[in-house]
Amino acid sequence: ADPMEASIEVSTQEMIRRAQKLQIETVFDRAVTMKPCAIGMQGICCKNCAMGPCRLPLPKGGVQGDDTRKGLCGATPNTIAARNWIRMIAGGAAAHSDHGRGVALTFLSVARKETKDYTIKDPAKLISIAPYFGVATTVEVDGKKLDRDIDEIALGVAEAAVAEWGKTDGFLSYLKRAPQPLQDKWEKQGVKPRNIDREIVEIMHRTHMGVDQDYKNLLKQGARASIADGWGGSMIGTDLQDVMFGTPAPLQAEANLGVMKADHVNIIVHGHEPLLSEMIVAAAQSQEMIDLAKQNGAKGIQLSGICCTANELLQRHGIPPAGTFLQQELAIITGACDAMVVDVQCIFQNLANVAKCFHTKLITTHPIARMEQENVIHIEFDEHYAMQDAMRIVKMAVENFQNRGAEVMIPQHKTTQIAGFGVESIQYHLGGSFRGSYYTLNDNIINGRIRGIAGVVGCNNARTKHNEEHITIIKELIKNDVIVLTTGCSAIAAGIHGLLTPGAAAVHCGPGLAEVCETVGIPPVLHLGSCVDNSRILLAATEVVKAGGLGNDICDLPAAGSAPEWMSEKAISIGQYFVSSGVYTVFGYSLPLEGAPVVKDYLYKTMEDMYGGMWDCEADPVKHAHKMIAHIDKKRKALGI
Ligand code: BF8
């Protein structure tokens, strides 16, 4: 791979060069030698039964040609593309929601007082979510309303939250948080999720050989499962994480591979669930471990993160992200990573091969995500003994410091950023002093200083130039006075490229947005956390609706969504729940729909009539941003502003 072609980011380029010099294969090399399957890429390969895989002929120029061969069962391109699409949603919703389930079960242990390692750090948040689960927050004693005991509220919320995954009656509790017109649309379309697990299981059933054959019906179930992710598993996950670990507030931190320190023990946490990493923070900051690090010849312990675990630790503790999804192998190639601790999702199988070339201890911690290579250590994390497990892991990393090889090369690039925004802190910065809502934000959208709101989120993808699309799109949006909310690897990229500072406003923004950011003292790009925290964007959008003056539903807002370098199934689930919540959502790279133009049309156009939001895809980042801006302008016009 040509490092300059692989990434726009300097430390990434440096580390790719080093990997090549050391003859260590990375994702960037594999992207050259392994090309994607053209038929799969277009969404029309069906491998759901053993009469296949049936690879349907590609349409030419967007229309089906003379070759109308079908799958052996008769499946058409529409059925196959729709099935494949919603199976991606099932995969993505399952990943987010199983993460959320883990959080909910841990919270149940907290509420039952089975663990002492986790506590309730934000009781106010707990009290604010309790009513959605039907849990009372006050009691009447002698005709007086008194605050209910927080432990009782916790138990009520924990039991109700865990039940959301399998409840037998009614619909998901959090649907009530959406604007009423949106709830009405879901009702009318018949896509209100009943429980989280059921919608995912039903996708697997419907896409089994010979079940649902109507692409429209399949896509409806995809919408329903995605809503169960965004307004269910992910949202509950985010909320209960905030309750246990604290609701984020803006803080300063650094970003990029340069945060690793040659004279410190470097521990990198990678994956998604903060259950373990929160404990690793506590263990790494304990005097016992700091002393042990010094005894082992290090000056201290430097903790950093990769992927969404990085975002979780960043937003609550200011622990710096060492890199995005595509930098995970490179962090080990520095030769300075004493331990990489992983849990679930977005973890390269190749990490073990890279770790083998260095002293790095690669530690898996989750029973559902193990690696077979003999150099991988498995320390299963049990939330009942959380601190004990974390201390064991940190100790192993510290003792490994002295095994470092001579060749350590940490790229000397890092930036400063402000991260940790959320629904509450946006209200603090952009709310009004009398109306507690998003009044200042709405006011500035109405007066035109802020043209609109964009959510730019999601992965990196080795089929595109690392970070180029994220950064080009974000810059183009803020140049045109569109404020950006970001999560996931996109947020890490924005931090690495210096866009998460208040100072970025003067350099990159149009005059209106720059003025607002400078007055309020916020960056033009707000880091809202990890990928499950996209639920924060749904709630922020709902707050904007509530603050008034911009219509009465999310689809009325001058807003748009984007995942410029998406790669995971989770991204499709997120994209679909944004669309199903009324947001025009543009993906970069390519979507697996070209082989089924009818399905593509349904997602890109018909869905707008159903939910107010619709899909789009644009690989060119400048055009991509301008499609979003055009949509924002269309909504401004409709609002008469
Ligand atoms: O959940 S953005 S590459 S790390 S999938 Fe993975 Fe994509 Fe990164 Fe976070 Ni989200």
Does residue 203 sit in the same domain as residue 280?
no
597 with 549, same domain? yes
Residue 75 forms part of a structural domain: no
Residue 129 structural domain: 86-245
Rounded to the nearest angstrom, the distance between the alpha carbon of 402 and the centre of ligand 1 is 33
Give alpha helix (H) positions in 368-467.
386-400, 423-430, 439-446
Q: What's the 96 CA to ligand 1 centre distance in angstroms? A: 11
pLDDT of 487 = 98
Indicate whether 134 and 266 sit together in one domain. no
Q: Are residues 241 and 274 in the same domain?
A: no
Is residue 425 pLDDT above 80, yes or no? yes
Please indicate, yes or no, if residue 569 is contained in any of the structural domains.
yes
**Atom 9, ligand 1: which residue's CA is nearest?**
308
pLDDT at 64: 67
Inter-CA distances, 57 with 46, 204, 327, 424, 594, Å: 12, 25, 37, 51, 11
Domain boundary pick from 379, 403, 427 = 403
Q: Domain count of the chain?
A: 3
**Residue listed under structure tokens 């003025």:** 515
Ligand 1 atom index nearest CA of 571 = 5
Taking only the tens place, the pLDDT of each residue in 80-129 is: 999 999 999 999 999 999 999 999 999 999 999 999 899 999 999 999 99
- Mutating to test ligand 1, I would choose from 277, 306, 325, 343 the residue with most ligand atoms within 8 A of its C-beta, which is 325
* Nearest atom in ligand 1 to 457's CA: 2
Q: Kindly state whether residues 120 and 217 are assigned to the same domain.
A: yes
Query: Which two three-digit tokens encode residue 142?
Result: 């002698």
Give the pLDDT score at 60: 75
Q: Which atom of ligand 1 is nearest to the CA of 311?
A: 9
Contact 293, 394 (CB under 8 A): no
CB 240 within 8 A of CB 161: yes
346 marked as part of a ligand binding site: yes
User: 6-10, 60-64, 394-398, 493-497: which has the minimum mean pLDDT?
Assistant: 60-64
Residues flanking ligand 1, CB < 6 Å: 272, 307-308, 325, 346, 458-459, 488-489, 530-531, 568, 570
**CATH (domain of 336):** 3.40.50.2030
Q: Which residue has the tokens 């991606």?
A: 88
Which of 486, 572, 555 shows the shortest CA–CA distance to 314? Answer: 486
308 is in an annotated binding site: yes
Q: Which helix (H) or strand (E) holds 608?
A: helix 607-611
Do residues 435 and 523 share a domain? yes
Residue 194 in this model has a pLDDT that exceeds 80: yes
For residue range 500-513, list pLDDT tens digits in order. 999 999 999 999 99
Q: Pick from 245, 280, 313: which residue ends a domain? A: 245
* pLDDT confidence band for 430 (50 / 70 / 90): confident
Residue 454 confidence (pLDDT) above 80? yes
Beta strands in 346-464 (DSSP E): 361-364, 376-378, 415-419, 452-456
37 marked as binding residue: yes
* Contacts of the segment 68-71: beta carbons below 8 A, 24+ positions apart: 71/46
In a domain, 79, yes or no: no
- Considering the domain architecture, whether residues 380 and 483 belong to the same structural domain is answered as no
Tell me whether residue 459 is annotated as binding.
yes
Ligand 1 atom nearest 488 alpha carbon: 2
